[in-house]
Structure 1
Amino acid sequence: MTQSGTSSSALPKALGHIRVLDLSRVLAGPWCSQNLADLGADVIKIERPGSGDDTRAWGPPYAKDGAGHDTGEAAYYLSANRGKRSVTVDIASSEGQALLRELVKHCDVVLENFKVGHLKRYGLDYDSLKAIKPDLVYCSITGFGQDGPYAHRAGYDFLIQGMGGLMSVTGERDDLPGGGPQKAGVALTDLMTGMYATVAVLAALTHRDRTGEGQHIDMSLLDTQVAMLANVGSNYLNSGKPPKRWGNAHANIVPYQTFACADGHIIVATGNDGQYQKFVEAGGRPELGSDERFATNPLRVRNRDTLVPILAEMVKQKTRDDWIALLEERGVPCGPINDLADVFANPQVVAREVAIELPHPTAGKVKLVRSPIRMSATPATSDKAPPLLGQHTDEVLREMLGHSEADIAALRDKGVL
């Protein structure tokens, strides 16, 4: 575990001129705003007084203090909220709504993931805030988008993985033991929606900088899930045939799957005929490379049920490390299936300082994963731990709105903060 090592104040920030008012919770929205924070934006996370973001309670596990005691800071929350400032505001109160409208005047972006129409009752919808700040970039993230027959439904990652087709192509083949639909092991739809939202916000800011015009971004989990089907969706649209589940195999490439070795499993990913030939040569079966049934990828796809059992028997004859050494030497893409202990001990992961420790007010330090974005002139920086609930409320109200200590105390007494 390594320290990020470089102070963000010493580095230029790609988005150091941008301020984001983040009204989102859970994962898709916070993932977007965390990306923006890593790139230097000042992200002000608005949370409910007393409870905050739902994911603060999504534990165990929790970050631990120096004595090994739980701090109450859920690891789930920590994963998506570094680099932000937390401000508690009761948006159901008229005073809270007024505060947010004042804050919007000092922000470039508003990010929210409330149900469609929910914020309109508070005067915090796009049209209301556009009247205050015409060049505002306002990004809404919902399950199904701002229009259409499902617009008012709540959307959750698991549901969308099912509805959007991902689970129909994820899991073991129906004709094999354990066959059936499976969700992905992480909330891919939420994360990808957060990533697409990040791209959309940056594009909208570029448009604003050129024209002075703000806009409303309408991001949908279902839209994202259908888009990220990628080649699988294209295969269906161009063939009319619904794809099936292939487990750890590939619909269009053979062999491109896991194999059991003498002592574990490896992934073999032969992307062309030359790599396939080198694979079978390494296994002592060069004749499989010239066999008229298997000589080209289309033939191997057509005859996979004959070829794969032969390859599986071949792979079983050597250990995982032997296979990796043989295939790496020949330039055949391969690798182990690591658990997370293996991942964070991997020399490449260690060398790239992917795991970091950041100072934290109650835990002393928290362990996180740094941004994967590497830029030479304006590096992404991950040097501020996820904030405690309301940690920056007083600071932001003083700095941005000029509130006095007495003003802030009065608002807190009323339950607005």
Structure 2
Amino acid sequence: MNDILNQGALAGLRVLDLSRVLAGPWSGQLLADLGADVVKVERPGAGDDTRAWGPPWLCDEDGASTGESAYYLSANRNKRSVTIDISQPEGQSLVKQLARKADVVIENFKVGGLAQYGLDYASLKALNSRLVYCSITGFGQTGPYAPRAGYDFLIQGMGGLMSLTGREDGAEGEGPLKVGVALTDVMTGLYATVAILAALARRERTGEGQNIDLALLDVQIACLANQAANYLVGGLLPRRMGNAHPNIVPYQDFPTADGYMIIAVGNDGQFANLCSALGSPQWATDERFATNSQRVKHRQELIDLIRVVTKRRHTNEWISIMETVGVPCGPINSLDKVFSDPHVQSREMRIEMDHPLSKVVPLVANPIHMSESPVSYRQAPPTLGQHTREVLSSWLALSDADVEQLRRGSIV
């Protein structure tokens, strides 16, 4: 095990992951992929809420359910699972001992939720002043909404994302829509990882850890990017535009003879090439369309013209033509086509790992490629409590007899 844990850019870093569901576990998985020893602390007998979020379930070689949900498997690779009942004093003591040995704690309990167990930042800082303690909540540790529970769907609505997502008013299927994955949770996990690494870098200079207060709502607002800037600078409320772009034209989906494709023109040169590919080079010099600002102004006129032409050929034909002239163009793939795409396969974005309950578990790869300390896949998402004895022995030097006594007391 020691050889395995000494791999990766973050080798030697110890992370105590007290979080569940997605945002916190996503951060923990990313740190683990980069080499950290991440110990996931779960409730005995139940574990992370997402373990029950199925179907689908991972199946064994005979096709029977293993009880491991696909949702849980998506965010817990490379971790070790320990079960500890933190409602009991002995369990709290164990977590405190682990925190003494840890570099990082990740938690997503409600504001103040861990204070009753003596596992809040102030309590653990007193035991380990070098600890980087990352708290993830829906609304942050301060402000009038701080006590509220926050979920991705709720935050996508409150944070403005759904006001920008969906078909425009008056169009078929109009109305706000959430993104098809829990994007706010995922982005919060990424921000958490960046914050943790920044805090660790500062610790190298000062010797001191710190508390990180990360809110899903804050992250969602921050990730509105140009749309937020459009509002703050221009003073106008952005509207839902389907697949169109508020600042660039043409940059959306277009119908073809057999479906739809995406054309993403980012500058006037690409637009001229597009016009030639569509057999209408005169559009590039038409004063209504010659510059992007004019195309935005005359958006609907241009889109209507392009749609008439794109319907004449199949998607693959158009993609081939557009690639030849350097116009960004692509299909709208279902996931079966995503994972069968030769480029995706060459990038090895689908991996398989050995699993104790199944021959293998298929997972999505980490997209980070590092030349000197590449991501490693060491441990499939753990079964509940799979490493309790191992971790308590390696981190706390407890004997088998000690662990067995804790088991008999239903502490672990």
CA displacement 1:326-384 (0-9 Å, x = unmatched): 10000000000000000000111111111011000001110001111110011111231
Deviation (angstroms), 1:13: 1.4
Map 1:46-57; keep pairs closer than 5 Å: 46-57=41-52
> Which digits, 9 at most, give the CA deviation of each residue in 1:70-109, with x for residues without a partner?
1111000000000000000001110000000011111100
* Residue pairs, 1:222-237, within 5 angstroms: 222-237=217-232
Residue 338 (structure 2) pairs with residue 343 (structure 1) = yes
What is the distance in 2 between the residues matched to 1:284 and 1:134?
A: 68
**Alignment correspondent of 1:295:** 290
Q: Find the aligned partners of 2:377 and 2:253 in 1 and give their Cα distance.
A: 35
What SS does the corresponding residue of 2:106 show, helix, strand or coil?
Answer: strand
User: What residue number does 1:212 align with?
Assistant: 207
Amino acid at match of 2:276: E
Gaps of 5+ in 2: none
Question: Residue 110 of structure 1: SS of its match in structure 2?
Answer: strand
Q: For the Cα contact (< 8 Å) 2:33–2:377, is it kept in 1?
A: yes
CA distances 1:148-203 after superposition (whole Å, capped 9, x unpaired): 00001000000000000000000111121111100000001000000000000000
Deviations 1:298-352 (A, max 9, x none): 1111111111111100111111111001100000000000000000001111111
| 1:241 partnered with 2:233 | no
- Aligned residue for 2:101, secondary structure, equals coil
Give me the whole-angstrom Cα distance separating, in 2, the residues matched to 1:137 and 1:58: 30
Given the alignment of the two structures, is residue 147 of structure 1 paired with residue 142 of structure 2, yes or no?
yes
SS in 1 for 2:273: helix
- Is residue 255–residue 311 contact of structure 2 (8 Å, CA) maintained in 1? yes
Distance 1:382 1:95 in 2: 33
Q: Cα distance, 1:210 vs. partner?
A: 1.3
Query: For residues 47-72 of structure 1, what are the alpha-carbon distances to aligned partners after superposition, in whole Å with 9 as ceiling and x for unaligned?
Result: 00001000000000011111111111
The equivalent of 2:353 in structure 1 is 358
2:99 alignment partner in structure 1 = 104
Q: Tell me the equivalent position of 1:5.
A: none
User: Displacement of 1:11 after TM fit?
Assistant: 7.9
- Taking the aligned partners of 2:378 and 2:283, their CA distance within structure 1 comes to 53
Instruction: State yes or no: 1:27 paired with 2:27.
Output: no
In 2, the alpha carbon distance for the partners of 1:254 and 1:208 equals 47
Is 1:183 matched up with 2:178? Answer: yes
Q: Distance in 2 between matches of 1:181 and 1:295?
A: 33
Structure 1: which amino acid aligns with 2:135?
S
Question: Equivalent residue for 1:3?
Answer: none
Instruction: Look up the match of 1:281.
Output: 276
**Is the 1:141–1:221 Cα contact (8 Å) retained in structure 2?**
yes
2:301 to 292, 303, 306: 306
The one-letter code of the counterpart of 1:45 is K
In 2, the alpha carbon distance for the partners of 1:354 and 1:164 equals: 31
Q: 2:74 aligns with which of 69, 73, 79?
A: 79
Name the residue aligned to 1:383: 378
Shift of 1:291: 1.1
State the one-letter code of the partner of 1:134: S
2:407 is aligned to 412
Q: Which residue of 2 aligns with 1:319?
A: 314
Deviation at 1:10, TM superposition (A): 10
One-letter code of the match for 1:38?
A: D
One-letter amino acid matched to 2:338: V
Residue type of the alignment partner of 2:92 = Q
1:12 Cα deviation after fit = 4.1
Count of aligned pairs between the two proteins? 411
Selected match of 1:44 from 36, 39, 43: 39
Structure 1 outlier segments of 4+, above 6 Å: none
Could you tell me how far apart the structure 2 residues matched to 1:220 and 1:372 are? 25
Q: Deviations over 1:10-31 (max 9, x none)?
A: 9841110200000000000000
CA distance in 1: counterparts of 2:202 and 2:367, whole angstroms? 26
Task: Measure, in 1, the Cα distance between the counterparts of 2:299 and 2:230.
Answer: 19
The alpha-carbon distance between structure 1 residues 11 and 346, as it changes in their structure 2 partners (threshold 3 A), is farther
Query: Which SS does the other structure have where 1:105 is aligned?
Result: helix
Distance 1:113 1:414, change over 3 A: same
Q: 1:272 aligns with which of 246, 267, 274?
A: 267
Q: 8 Å contact 1:36–1:43 — kept in the other structure?
A: yes
CA contact (8 A) 1:12 1:377 kept: no
Preserved contact between residue 7 and residue 376 of structure 2 (Cα < 8 Å): no
- Structure 1: 5+ residue stretches without partners: 1-7
Q: Give me the whole-angstrom Cα distance separating, in 2, the residues matched to 1:229 and 1:144.
A: 17
What does residue 4 of structure 1 align with? none
CA contact (8 A) 2:169 2:175 kept: yes
Give the AA of the match of 1:273.
D
Structure 1 window deviating more from structure 2 (11-20 vs 391-400): it is: 11-20
